[in-house]
Structure 1
Amino acid sequence: MLARTISVAASCLAFALSTCTPAQAATGIFTYRYPTEPSGLGTGELINPRSGACINLPEVRFTEDSAHTPTNATSSTVTVFTGIDCTGDYYSLRSGGRASSRLLLKSAVFS
């Protein structure tokens, strides 16, 4: 009985500690350019984006347009995708990396 009590207590402690762990995030700012009406350009940014999760860029999610000219000033490598929900062709930018307006993107995931 004592062994079972110790086992249950250890399991509860492990669960409590695991739920207190903060979510991982890339530290820094990821910026990109996107088309605006009637023919301008806006700048979007993701500040301290969550790692390991697909992030759809809100300015181009529901449009035919794509964002471009990404700059990765975060602490992580980012993989950018041509489609929403991290689909389509992809390209990775290391921390400090940037790309030209030829690199089109709609979503990203940070390592």
Structure 2
Amino acid sequence: MSLRTVTAAVGAACSAFVLLLTAPGAASAATGQFRYTYTTDEGYDAVGFLNNPASRQCVNLPTSGAGSGTVSRAPKNLTNSTATVFLDADCEGDTYYTLRPGAGASERLLLRSVVFS
């Protein structure tokens, strides 16, 4: 085997290894933005958002109107991943809804937490 062949084989192996290391990182976040509406402490509606949220990690959305017990609503999943929204915090409970990429829901859909595929 010539030195040129060995060098090419080592280079190809190193490139493949680097590709394997970077591939999981690229898939660890939903690309895009997740939007939702909430009520501020002053009683005004505002839009909250998550940019490129992590995959498979539950995100608790801020409860609106500190201490008022109100929840966020009207989610819009503008990411490339499926979003599962939950009425309860910590992505728990029996009340949840799945939004495919690009989908949204009405003001009637209430949520406190979300996880992305």
The answer, yes or no, to whether TM exceeds 0.5 is yes
Runs of 5+ consecutive residues of structure 2 not aligned to the other structure: 1-16
Aligned residue pairs: how many? 95
One-letter code aligned to 1:34: Y
RMSD across aligned C-alpha pairs, in angstroms?
A: 2.2
| Structure with the higher helix share, 1 or 2 | 2
- The structure with the largest alpha-carbon Rg is 2
One-letter code aligned to 2:108: R
Query: Where in structure 1 do 4 or more consecutive aligned residues deviate above 6 Å?
Result: none
* Aligned-residue identity in percent: 47
One-letter code aligned to 2:25: P
Runs of 5+ consecutive residues of structure 1 not aligned to the other structure: 1-13
Correspondence for 2:109 among 99, 103, 110: 103
Quote the residue 2:90 is aligned against: 85
Instruction: Give the Cα–Cα distance (whole angstroms) in 2 for the partners of residues 35 and 21 of structure 1.
Output: 37
Give the C-alpha shift of residue 22 in structure 1: 2.2
Deviations 1:28-79 (A, max 9, x none): 000000011332111100000000011111x218641100010000000000
Q: Give the TM-score normalised by the residue count of structure 2.
A: 0.73
Matches within 5 A, 1:1-111: 21-22=24-25, 24-57=28-61, 59-60=62-63, 63=67, 64-88=69-93, 89-111=95-117
